[in-house]
Amino acid sequence: MPDTSKLDPVVLELGRLFDDAGYELSLVGGPVRDLFLGRISPDLDFTTNATPEQILQVARKWADSHWEMGRDFGTIGFRKRNRNKEVLLIEVTTYRAEAYDPDSRKPVVAFGTSLVDDLQRRDFSVNSMALRLPGMELVDPFGGTADLAAGILRTPGAPEDSFSDDPLRMMRAARFASQLGFDLHPEVLAAMTGMAERISIISAERVRDELVKLICGAHPRAGVDILVSTGLAELVLPEVPALKLETDEHHRHKDVYQHSLQVLEQAAALETGPDGAVPGPDFVLRFAALMHDVGKPKTRRFEPGGGVSFRHHDLAGAKLTAKRMRALRFDNDSIKAVSRLVELHMRFYGYGESGWSDSAVRRYVTDAGPLLERLHRLTRSDVTTRNQRKAERLSFAYDDLEQRISELAAQEELNSIRPDLDGGAIMALLGVKPGRVVGRAYNFLLELRMEHGPLGPERAEAELRAWWADQPESQETGPETEPRAPESPAAPGSPLPAQDTSD
């Protein structure tokens, strides 16, 4: 039996309400599984022989609020505050016996009368257990407890029937392998491999949500490897299996696929706690680690001297990553963050051999922007060489770079590098209105700031006047708009006027 002492008293309260009203009620699925694993699920799922109307009659007054969006599928949702004032999300669903259109993800719902029949339609045996309430009787007709103990994922019935009914369950199998560290039963793997193309009827949004959960699991490498080995990745994330480059007979480059999985693992290990710089699990960092080399298949070249090159694979990979994430309907912020990390992941290399000027360090920080801490971790994770001396050299070089970033940041506020003059001061000094000239002047001063650090207002004004003297517009403006000193300095932090910097 699971340790039911950890169940919130709300569970028993609801069980008694249904029992007093003459209906069955059972806690089912993930919450029961997690009791065996010593975890508490944030959401509570129940099943009952009561109809949606009867569910509302029993629990509407007891709950703090309810919703009926899933009523057509037999589900009524409730919110209930427990004794600790925590809000619990509860879903109660009528016993179901579903049938699926082979060409659609949407089930045809038929309400059932049997708890065992309801459990049989669920995805995996470890999720096909129930606790009858309020008596806490465990119902496990499909061996879920044994599979939990063995760390195996099986379906309650034939896996081909389960995956045909709902192909998303194949993604869920890989996701549970990532989250729970379980192995897939050989029959499940065989069915997934044979039926992988069925995933194409699932919406991109549903696939995306399962992929995010997989990547953020405790064992993401295992989950990704299942997607690739079964052929699912060819349909939902084809850039990853493409990393299995055929090595030439002399093995002149490493296995890019296995390297990428190792980088994913190492990046996850560098995440921090809730109060750290990169609290884990961090999807942006992990997905960038997985995708960082996806530009290599497109850019691989065998050189005349016998070597292999992947020139500009970082830029190619950033484009491929953004394209794939758009296809999976990711939000724009996530797309920009992940693809930017892929684009920047090679920027560090060469630092150890040649060293960087302060201006190069400033550019590194500025280009990374808010992604700097993730870029630190991605760059360190990208070292998978077995050459201990090389690994130590790269680690030492990156330690040195981070130290220099810290020192410059203390001096110059690197996180918000701006020119010494803002847009208002530029217009006053040059006697021009908002437009392209202001944008060019701003970029000129920003380049000086990057190269030389803070200049101070006086030197910045002198440099700007010298720059302006060489611009064709300075000759065209005439005496009425000759450069003049500003009547009063612009307020610190005043915004730059709207401008077109396309020149």
DSSP letter string, 83-116: TTSPEEEEEEEE-B--EE-TT-SSEE--B-S-HH
Structure tokens at 337: 């963050």
33-46 confidence digits (pLDDT tens): 999 998 888 789 99
Q: pLDDT-based confidence at 247, cuts 50/70/90? A: low
Q: What is the pLDDT of residue 305?
A: 79
Q: What is the pLDDT of residue 202?
A: 95
Any idea which of 65-69, 120-124, 284-288, 408-412 has the lowest mean pLDDT? 408-412
Task: Write b or e for each residue in 201-218: b if 16 or more Cβ atoms lie within 10 A of its Cβ, otherwise e.
Answer: ebeeeebbbbbbbbbbbe
Averaged confidence pLDDT in the chain:
87
Q: Give percent above pLDDT 70 in the chain.
A: 88
Structure tokens at 150: 């063995």
373-387 confidence digits (pLDDT tens): 999 999 999 998 888
Q: What is the pLDDT of residue 489?
A: 38
Instruction: Tell me which CATH code domain 160-236 carries.
Output: 1.10.110.30
The more confidently predicted of residues 490 and 223 is 223
Q: What is the pLDDT of residue 483?
A: 44
Question: Are the CB atoms for 227 and 174 separated by under 8 Å?
Answer: yes
What distance in Å separates the CA atoms of residue 482 and residue 316, rounded to the nearest whole number? 46
> Please, where in the chain does CATH 1.10.110.30 lie?
160-236
Question: Are the CB atoms for 258 and 272 separated by under 8 Å?
Answer: no
Which is it for strands 43-48 and 25-28: parallel, antiparallel or unpaired?
A: antiparallel
The more confidently predicted of residues 496 and 420 is 420
What distance in Å separates the CA atoms of residue 353 and residue 390, rounded to the nearest whole number? 12
105-125 confidence digits (pLDDT tens): 566 677 888 999 999 999 999
The more confidently predicted of residues 315 and 96 is 315
* Crossing angle between the packed helical segments 358-368 and 388-412, to the nearest 10 degrees: 90
Average pLDDT over residues 54-67: 96
369 pLDDT above the threshold of 50: yes
* Global pTM value: 0.79
Q: Token match 């949702």: residue?
A: 77
CA 444 to chain centre: 37
> Please, where in the chain does CATH 3.30.460.10 lie?
4-150
Cβ neighbors of 328 (< 8 A, separation 6 or more) are 204, 205, 207, 208, 211, 236
Q: Token match 């994430």: residue?
A: 325
The more confidently predicted of residues 279 and 3 is 279
Q: What is the pLDDT of residue 498?
A: 38
Q: pLDDT-based confidence at 460, cuts 50/70/90? A: confident
Q: What is the pLDDT of residue 502?
A: 36
- Which superfamily, per CATH, for 4-150? Beta Polymerase, domain 2 (3.30.460.10)
Q: pLDDT-based confidence at 503, cuts 50/70/90? A: very low
